[in-house]
Amino acid sequence: MAVNLTARQQAIVDYVTDYHQAHHCSPTSREVAEHFGIAPTASANHLKAIVKKGAMVKIVSATGQARGWRAP
């Protein structure tokens, strides 16, 4: 399924994927914000939009806490 992402959203997906391959865990939304030079709120909003579009899935622990993102 093709997902219609903005250029920034695609860059974030690529960064999260590369980060996960290098570190075996997802970056925090703060790390995403620092990497792209944007506010943490903007980073969180981009990540929410990417999940909503189906390009990534939010990983949630058994207790309901966010633990990162991964490809669907």
Residue 58 pLDDT greater than 80, yes or no: yes
Separation of alpha carbons 55 and 5, rounded Å: 8
Categorize the per-residue pLDDT at 64 as very low, low, confident or very high, splitting at 50, 70 and 90: confident
Q: Name the DSSP letter for residue 25.
A: S
pTM for the model stands at: 0.85
Separation of alpha carbons 37 and 63, rounded Å: 31
What would the pLDDT profile of 9-47 be if each residue is shown by its tens digit? 999 999 999 999 999 888 888 999 999 999 999 999 999
Residue with tokens 């579009």: 53
- Give me the pLDDT at residue 1, please: 46
- Give me the pLDDT at residue 2, please: 53
